Structure 1
C-alpha cells in the first residue's frame, strides 16, 4: 500500500515567502548605502548639489576617484590616500602572518602536546580576548616607549600581534581538537617530532582554518583606526587614519564625491578578501572554528 504525500500547505509557503522577504530586506539594507556611495563617487559636485542621492549619475566620471587616490588633502599634505594604502599593506602583512603562525603553533601545542600548565595558559590567553583595547593603550604606550620602538612599524605590528593572539589561539585549538587523535598518534609512532608533525601533518590539514584566521586578522588590522593612530607614528599612518583626515577636512567646499571614493578605496581590500575567500571561510567555520 503506497504512502500518500500531502501537498505543501499554505503555512509552509507563507514561511518561505517571509524568509525571502527578510533576506531581500537584509540585502537591501546593506546594498543601498553601497549603491549611494558608488553613485555619488561617480557624480560631479554640481550634480550632487541637486540633492537626489538615489539617482544614477548623468555623466559618470572617475575624477573623484583620481582625486581621492592622489590629490585629496589628508592634513598638511595633499597626496590622497595612496600613501596610507601602502602603509596599511606594510602593517597588515606582518600583522596577519605572524599572529596566524603563532596562533596555529599555540593551538597545536595546546591540543596535542598539552605541556604543563596548558589549561592555565589557555585561560590567560582567553582572558586577554575580553580586555578592551582602550584599557591597554596606555600600558602599551609606556612599554613601547621603554623599548624605544614607539611610533614605528614594529610597534604597531607587535600591538596587533598581542591583540590577535587570544582569538587565533582559540580558533586553532578548537580546530585541532576536532581532528582525530589517531593522526597524531600515528605520526608519533612513525618517529615524528613536534615540528615535523606540525609542518607535515597539521598545517596541510589546516587550510580552511588558515583562511578563516587570515580573513579575520587581515580585516581587523586593515579596518583598525585607534591603534594605528596611536602606535604607527606619523610616517606609517594607515589608510583609515588618512580617510578620517580627508573626510574631516573643513577647508573650502566639502567634496562628497571625493569622500565617497576615498571611503570605497579604503574598504576595497576587506571586500575583495571576503568575496574571493567566502567559500573557504564557510568551510573553515563548518570544520570546527566554533566548536568547543
Structure 2
C-alpha cells in the first residue's frame, strides 16, 4: 500500500513503465504476412523487369530469376515504336496517346458530374432524389457485359459508335454511379451548419458548390481521380468494343503485340510492352498514394 502511494506522488517523468519487447508473436505474424504479400506482388514484377532487358539468347537458358548478363534496352525501343500490333508494326506508342485521349476527358467529366450529383443529393434533395440515388446504386453493381449490346445499339443510332466521343461517353456512363456514391457520402459527412449558413448568406446552388464545397473536396477528388484513371487506363473490353480501330487504347495494343507472332515469340519485347502499359497507374499510385489513403480516412468512401 505504501509503495503504491509512493508511486502516486512521483512526477510523471519518474513513472517508468516496463517496455514491451520489440518482437512479439503478434508482430512477427504481421511482419511475415506483409513480407509474403510484398513478395507475392514484387516477384512477378522482378521477373518482368529482368526479362525485358535480357537478349533472347539469355531468355532461352530458362533461368527467369537470373540477372541479365548483357542487359539491353532494345526490347523497350521495339515495344514502343517497332513491335507489330497486327498488320502495322509501329509499336505501342499509338495506343499510349489513344489512352491519354480517352482517359483525360473521361476522368474530368465523370468527376465533375459525379461531384455535382453528390452535392445535389446530399444537401438540396430534389423531388425523387432517393429514387435517383437508388437507380445509380443499382447501376454501380450491374455487370458491364450486360450493357454492351444496348450501348452498341444506342451509340450506333446516335452515330457515335467506334469514335472517341463514343468511348468517352461509355466510360462516363459506367463511372457515374461510383463517382456519385463517393461524392454523396463525402458531402453527407460534412456539417449541415455550413450549408445552412451559406444559404442564410444568400448563396445559391452553384455559388455554394464553387465557393464552399469544391475547396473542401480535395481528399475525395484525389480518391476519385485515382480510381477513375486506374479503371479507364486498364480497361480492355470497353476499348475493344467501342473505341474503333483508330482509337484503340494501350491495353488493346498490348494484347495485339502479345498475340501477334511471326516466327519466334519475343518474350523480352512482350514484357517491355507490359511494363510500358502499366507505368501510368504505377506512377499514379507511387506519387499520390498518400492522397488516396488520406481521402479514404477523411470519409471519401464512408457511408
Q: TM-score, normalised by structure 1?
A: 0.97
Identify the residue that residue 219 of structure 1 maps to in structure 2: 230
**Residues 1:4 and 1:69: Cα distance change in structure 2 (over 3 Å):** closer
Q: Does 1:16 align with 2:27?
A: yes
Structure 1 regions of 5+ residues with no counterpart? none
Identify the residue that residue 271 of structure 2 maps to in structure 1: 260
For the residue of structure 1 that corresponds to 2:298, the secondary structure is helix
How much has 1:18 moved relative to structure 2? Answer: 1.0
Which of 52, 58, 76 is equivalent to 1:41?
52
Q: Does 1:83 align with 2:94?
A: yes
RMSD (Å), alpha carbons: 1.2
Identify the residue that residue 269 of structure 1 maps to in structure 2: 280
Identify the residue that residue 117 of structure 1 maps to in structure 2: 128
For the residue of structure 1 that corresponds to 2:210, the secondary structure is helix
Identify the residue that residue 70 of structure 1 maps to in structure 2: 81
Which of 119, 123, 129 is equivalent to 2:140?
129
Q: Distance in 1 between matches of 2:302 and 2:75?
A: 46
Which of 132, 142, 151 is equivalent to 1:140?
151
Q: Distance in 2 between matches of 1:104 and 1:282?
A: 19
Structure 2 regions of 5+ residues with no counterpart? 8-14
Deviation string, structure 1 residues 57-96 (Cα, Å, up to 9, x no partner): 1111110000000000000000000000000000000110
Identify the residue that residue 236 of structure 1 maps to in structure 2: 247
Q: Distance in 1 between matches of 2:228 and 2:20?
A: 45
Q: Distance in 2 between matches of 1:88 and 1:291?
A: 31
How much has 1:9 moved relative to structure 2? Answer: 6.6
Q: Distance in 1 between matches of 2:285 and 2:206?
A: 31
How much has 1:6 moved relative to structure 2? Answer: 5.4
Q: Distance in 1 between matches of 2:254 and 2:265?
A: 14
Q: Distance in 2 between matches of 1:42 and 1:4?
A: 56
Q: Distance in 1 between matches of 2:202 and 2:19?
A: 61
- Deviant stretches of 4+, over 4 Å: 3-7
Q: TM-score, normalised by structure 2?
A: 0.94
Q: Distance in 1 between matches of 2:159 and 2:258?
A: 33
How much has 1:8 moved relative to structure 2? Answer: 3.1
Identify the residue that residue 160 of structure 1 maps to in structure 2: 171
For the residue of structure 1 that corresponds to 2:290, the secondary structure is helix
